[in-house]
Amino acid sequence: MTHTLIADLGGTNARFALAEDGRHGRIMALRVKEHDGPAPAIRQALQRLGHDGPLARLVCALAAPIEAGPIRLTNAPWVLDREALREELGIGQVEFLNDLEATAWSLPALVADDLRTLHAGEAVSGAPLLVVAPGTGLGMAAMAAGQALATEAGHSAFAPGDAVEDALLAHLRGTHGPVSNEDLLSGSGLPRLYAALAAMRGGTRSPKNAATIADAARGGDILAQEAVGMFWRALGGFCGDAALLLGARGGVYLAGGAAQKLFDLLPVEAFLNRFRDKPKMQAYLSRIPVHVIIHDQPALMGLARYVARQP
């Protein structure tokens, strides 16, 4: 029997599992900082998974753009090289996917228990599916015609949707230059958004991270609540733009750590109103289902499906 190891390699954790018949087995999680590189981590994962035979294939989801040569993880010191891993570990085939591309492969297999539905809509069978993931950065990928499409849409220009966001963009352009969606709509972007709102009101607040802002919002801090509300509304606008660009009538899915951690602060109607705020296409967008993914490991689920469908 040939064996395939799949891996979801992030900035903090590396998760491994053996895949067979479109499903993955037991998951082994390792801390990235405790290993000098991917090869020692892979060896340890295989040992803990009880696999000591030859490995025919390794397929990794990486939090980084996929290039032909060596790839450095965006938020970790590991460098991954296909040829080096093949030679060092004796693996027959090594493949890399973007982490959101891997998640996109999971979308057709997600069931009701894997989701929190914000809007049921009317999914069009066979139409593209879209996943947007505000995490450390802002990722986006799609599933269309049986193939996943990786993008770098998070680096597209931020488009304000109301007068306050107009003023925010003008302020940030004056202090930081061009503003991308990822600059604001991510775990690292929320503190920037919060600090900019404070500066626009004559204050100087510099929170450490998104979690601090979220806790303040839950505690009744008005500025924190305004920042989190703007985050979600603007993300709704971004998702609506992306759904139009890709014709994602099969559904839009939210993933990523920031979406999970801020979910209890999500103003659903405000998010959906901004999602649909395209006057000529409001009816089109109103029919698109919108979900939040709550499955623990959608990237590994997607990798297992990819392995079965891309031998």
210-218 and 189-200 helices, crossing angle to 10°: 60
**Statement: residue 287 has pLDDT above 60:** yes
CATH, domain range 4-103+297-309 = 3.30.420.40
For 181-236, how does the pLDDT look when each residue is reduced to its tens digit (9 = 90+)?
999 999 989 999 999 999 998 887 777 799 999 999 999 999 999 999 999 999 99
Would you list the domain boundaries of the chain? 4-103+297-309, 111-294
For 237-271, how does the pLDDT look when each residue is reduced to its tens digit (9 = 90+)?
999 999 999 999 999 999 998 898 999 999 999 99
Say how far apart CA 70 and CA 64 lie, in whole Å: 11
Select the CATH number that applies to the domain covering 111-294 from these four: 3.40.367.20, 3.90.1150.170, 3.40.1710.10, 3.40.50.1950. Answer: 3.40.367.20
Identical fold at 4-103+297-309 and 111-294? no
DSSP letter, residue 282: H
Nearest to 196 by CA among 215, 219, 211, 213: 213
For residue 2, name the pLDDT band (cuts at 50, 70, 90).
low
**Statement: residue 1 has pLDDT above 70:** no
For 42-92, how does the pLDDT look when each residue is reduced to its tens digit (9 = 90+)?
999 999 999 988 899 999 999 888 999 999 987 788 999 999 999 999 999
DSSP string covering 123-188: PPTT--EEEEEESSSEEEEEEETTEEEE--GGGSBP---SHHHHHHHHHHHHHHSS-BSTTTSSTT
